[in-house]
Amino acid sequence: MKKPILIAFILMMNTVFAQTNRFVYQVTAKPNASDKNEVKTENAYLDISPEKSVFYSENRIKRDSVMQANFKSGGARGFKREQMEGLRTNINYTVEKNKADQKTFFKDRIGRDMYMYEEDRPINWKISSETRKIGEYKVQKAETDFGGRTWTAWFTTDLPYPDGPYKFNGLPGLIVKVEDDKGEYSFDLMKNYKIADLPALNQFGNTVKVKRADYTKQLKKFQEDPMAFMGQGGGGPQMRMGGGGNQNPADMRKRMEERIKEEAKRNSNPIELP
């Protein structure tokens, strides 16, 4: 009788440790360089599995679900503008961190395709002896310069994950809060719970692997001349949202170009500065 009980216990423990932990962060940003009074707030997930972690917008997975359902029922024409407006996000990127090789990958869509690069800059923390309490956690202070900003993070060893939101990692505990010194970007842990596994995020278009510098160049080109990235098909699936079936293609392209350029202006204060 003892052997079956032991096997059951081992299986149960493997299940416990194999679970994925979801940490929900409130992300506050001032993305418009010409209007610092404009504050954007939304939630993002940091899902940590035994193999890797993934950081992405909460609205991303909700939007993916709606898009997938609409494509199954009516294709691109099934999209309704008002249905998607409430799922807009300023976090269009995904950050993946692999535990085995300690590599961080950044993914972002430019036009039709998904561009991915491996982060080539280490995050060097200066850990302070200063501690405080944030919510239920005792946290410790750490500082770093990264992406053109100076950041202050508060981490807790109560959550033994050397990880955090965005690209931040490498501290002896999970980052509960991290904020830049200008108060333009902050990530605050709100809650956490367990999920069965990492979700499958929909990906339209091709994945283009590039160097970080090449991604920056391509993004700038896209913002200056978005039609150059669209091709004859008018862009990926997300580019065709909200359109009816009888619109003039030239008018649609013009409105699309104007919208992308306007979004670029509204996001003229990115999280990483040149």
Q: What is the pLDDT of residues 129-187, one digit of tens each?
A: 999 999 999 999 999 999 999 999 999 999 999 999 999 999 999 999 999 999 999 99
pLDDT tens profile 55-64: 999 988 777 6
Sign, CA dihedral 251-255-260-265, equals positive
Does residue 42 register a pLDDT over 90?
A: yes
Pick from 14-28, 77-91, 212-226 the range whose average pLDDT is largest: 212-226
pLDDT of residue 111: 82
Length of the chain: 274
More confident residue, 133 or 232: 133
More confident residue, 55 or 79: 55
| Paired strand residues for 195 | 20
What's the mean pLDDT in 212-223? 91
Return the exposure string of 63-101: e unless at least 16 CB atoms fall within 10 Å of the residue's CB, then b: bbebbeebeeeeebeebeeeebeebebbbbbbbbbeeee
pLDDT tier at 1, thresholds 50, 70, 90:
very low
pLDDT of residue 83: 60
Q: Locate the domains of the chain by residue range.
A: 18-121+177-266
pLDDT of residue 260: 76
Give yes or no for a contact between 155 and 201, defined as CB atoms under 8 angstroms apart: no
Pick from 70-74, 130-134, 262-266 the range whose average pLDDT is largest: 130-134
Q: Which residue has the tokens 């999209």?
A: 79
pLDDT of residue 87: 67
Q: How many CB atoms lie within 10 A of CB 228?
A: 10
Q: Which residue has the tokens 């619109």?
A: 247
Does residue 238 register a pLDDT over 50?
A: no
- pTM for the full predicted model: 0.81
pLDDT tier at 18, thresholds 50, 70, 90:
low
DSSP the chain: -HHHHHHHHHHHHHHHHHPEEEEEEEEEE---TT-TT--EEEEEEEEE-SSEEEEEEHHHHHHHHHHHHHHHHHGGGG--HHHHHTT--S---EEEEETTT--EEEEEEETTEEEEEE--S----EEEEEEEEETTEEEEEEEEEETTEEEEEEEETTS--S--STT---SSSEEEEEEETTSSEEEEEEEEEEESS-------S-EEE--HHHHHHHHHHHHH-GGGGTTTTTSSGGGGTT--TT--HHHHHHHHHHHHHHHHHHT-S-SS--
More confident residue, 268 or 264: 268
Does residue 245 register a pLDDT over 90?
A: no
pLDDT of residue 168: 98
pLDDT tier at 247, thresholds 50, 70, 90:
low
d(C-alpha 255, C-alpha 249), whole Å: 10
pLDDT tens profile 105-138: 999 988 888 999 999 999 999 999 999 999 999 9
pLDDT of residue 21: 97
pLDDT of residue 261: 74
